[in-house]
Chain A
């Protein structure tokens, strides 16, 4: 078994998307390009403006998806706005840059941080990733206002490793709903070019 693990490690084959390029990193915003581990065939790079990205992000809302069997009994909560205006303003320029630099096998991963309940120990994170495969823009949210440890080791219990929680599962919604489609593989995605051409995009563009 040791031999198998050593071989597996030296092979170094990735089983999760991994970071290849950091577009921007600050205390509040972190945008990177992640290499997909399976062929993705995105139509990157994509030329977008910050206003276009902002208008798309403004249309999204979400609701956390309950696990079965809670899903059958729990009351459904109304969807919440995915990103506030100030968050979109901080994030959009870096997403534009990321989509310009991304290749066909890379996705754009973003993370927005705010001080946590105990600001020296935790941050509140909203993160996810986006990608474009014409005519669709895909978006997945991994964390939504989730408390995460700042350090990898516990500040209060020495040498207790700190792990972020596993990514959550969220149901995404988009307004106007006619642009929130299902692609050929059955995945929800935004027909972003149609949306950007529409009057609703124009109204929300700053």
Chain B
């Protein structure tokens, strides 16, 4: 199976190589140079010399052949004596060789946000422990996300530095994006990390190849750049239904065709499936010293295995041969609306596109396969990513296979835009039965009373440029059922935003957004709802008290003012 994929990669690269066009150089009789912010066309030959030559030709002092030779020599001399590189500003700082074989473009992106938040008392108790729990310590004990009612804070929401350009030819592109930002709920200051590191071949328009770490081409909301959103932030449901379920970025390879040439666009990618900067070598389970016997067993010991002995040693690298597969198809029915949200370009004709994606991400270990399933050790990075993207209800259910579907539609016309997307995630548990939580007693132990279901959600958003290219109003409604087996767990979100685009482009904007988020706290979440697993296994940071002992729904109203600049 794997050798087959290697052949596919080899074949793709071979086609790329064959289709590479030969490099060709062209000399101009003059060139555009930037002077005081204006681009001015400058002839290679000195105007006074040209005038004298033309007069000499007219008077018959020199022949046409001599004139042509002198002009050519002069231009050749000017070409050879000019610097071999050029530097200028245009959507970033650009440095290029004169033959355009190499380009370095440096861009920055800063997003500064002020948040005024009002939460109801339910955020104090029970807090949010099911979709967005916090995971503590080495074992990732669950803690509820709780807070006071009101909050007023500044936040560096996005700080990016991008190095991009092309190498050897304009069709071999590279992108390195560094981020040093802090999420609204982060407990530590953001450190610099690599968001994107990718090389793209565009030699063959119908077979572009992208290799490295980047955003997977799966659902519209995530493919879109964060600078061109209609709102200050994506809706919660958009983040929950990424291809991997863990992060919008991953490491792998994608083949696709050129979006601006073909009316139907395809994307097919193979990834590790564990998010950025990580791979399956870090996916582990715990075993007892006897091979095949899962660790931490305290009951229901498999035949041939020793009885209870706790062993959370994370000693076995499991599922290291698994990969994630992502496919997307998009049809530009009318025009070419692109992925940017809102009709900033003020489309003169209707623009309509429909698309759909499918992602299969197998063997995500949310807890070790043992008797204490639900609480035992699995890779903390994987578990924390699930919790960060709102998939915390899936934690603790052993090894899961995700099959995620996304369908989207977008329409734009004369400043108006409408975009909607529907998601479905089929969750296949490798361990089919109800998890064993240990010996019953004092509200703990026994078997889990309910099983994890699937997940689904959708959103619709619409915007209108009140002043073309300058001022946009937008509204959004999002709905999300994180566990189809649970009741009272729906998440509903309403947003309204007003954005002023200072320079008439996405690159410089101020957004005022109001958000109302309702989060249902119902349903069973492993190791957070009763019955809890029996001690001595770590349960949560509150001992044997379930985190949802108090049943109240969470409501948050927030106003965000955000300034963004990309330079």
Let me know if A187 is at the binding interface, CB within 8 A.
no
Please tell me if the beta carbons of B503 and A159 are within 8 angstroms of each other in the complex. no
User: For residue B36, which residues in chain A have a CB less than 8 angstroms away from its CB?
Assistant: 77
Known contacts A9-B413, A15-B414, A16-B346: A161-B91 contact under CB 8 Å: no
Known contacts A118-B103, A120-B170: A161-B164 contact under CB 8 Å: no
**CB nearest to A163 among chain B residues:** B505
Please tell me if the beta carbons of A80 and B503 are within 8 angstroms of each other in the complex. no
Known contacts A114-B32, A165-B503: A9-B418 contact under CB 8 Å: yes
Please tell me if the beta carbons of B225 and A163 are within 8 angstroms of each other in the complex. no
**CB nearest to B343 among chain A residues:** A9
Q: Distance (Å) between the CB of A61 and the closest chain B CB?
A: 13
Please tell me if the beta carbons of B506 and A5 are within 8 angstroms of each other in the complex. no
Identify which of A1, A114, A117, A166 contacts B503 (C-beta below 8 A). Answer: A166
**CB nearest to B163 among chain A residues:** A156
User: For residue B209, which residues in chain A have a CB less than 8 angstroms away from its CB?
Assistant: none
Please tell me if the beta carbons of A156 and B339 are within 8 angstroms of each other in the complex. no
Q: Distance (Å) between the CB of B38 and the closest chain A CB?
A: 6
Please tell me if the beta carbons of A117 and B88 are within 8 angstroms of each other in the complex. yes
Q: How far is the CA of A160 from the CA of B506 in the complex (A)?
A: 9
Please tell me if the beta carbons of B100 and A145 are within 8 angstroms of each other in the complex. no
A 1-41 binary contact with B (CB < 8 Å = 1; else 0): 11011101100111110110000000000000000000000
A 149-175 binary contact with B (CB < 8 Å = 1; else 0): 101111111111111011000000000
- Interface size, A (range): 35 or more
Please tell me if the beta carbons of A14 and B416 are within 8 angstroms of each other in the complex. no
User: For residue A14, which residues in chain B have a CB less than 8 angstroms away from its CB?
Assistant: 414
Known contacts A9-B413, A12-B414, A145-B32: A161-B339 contact under CB 8 Å: yes
Q: Distance (Å) between the CB of B235 and the closest chain A CB?
A: 15
Known contacts A1-B475, A120-B100, A146-B39: A166-B469 contact under CB 8 Å: yes
Please tell me if the beta carbons of A2 and B175 are within 8 angstroms of each other in the complex. no
User: For residue A122, which residues in chain B have a CB less than 8 angstroms away from its CB?
Assistant: 90
User: For residue A162, which residues in chain B have a CB less than 8 angstroms away from its CB?
Assistant: 91
Identify which of A2, A15, A19, A146 contacts B415 (C-beta below 8 A). Answer: A15
Let me know if B260 is at the binding interface, CB within 8 A.
yes
Top 5 nearest A-B pairs (CB, nearest first) are A161-B340, A9-B416, A166-B504, A145-B39, A156-B164
Which residues in B have some Cβ–Cβ distance to A below 8 Å?
32, 34, 36, 38-41, 86, 88, 90-91, 94, 96, 100, 103, 105, 107, 162, 164-166, 170, 173, 175, 177, 200, 202, 210, 214-215, 223-225, 227-228, 259-260, 336, 338-340, 344-346, 348, 413-416, 418, 462-464, 468-469, 473, 475, 496, 503-507
Provide 19 A-B residue pairs closer than 8 Å at the C-beta atoms, listed in order of the A residue.
A4-B464, A6-B418, A9-B414, A16-B468, A19-B348, A64-B38, A77-B36, A117-B88, A120-B166, A121-B170, A145-B39, A146-B39, A149-B91, A152-B336, A152-B338, A153-B339, A155-B202, A158-B210, A159-B338
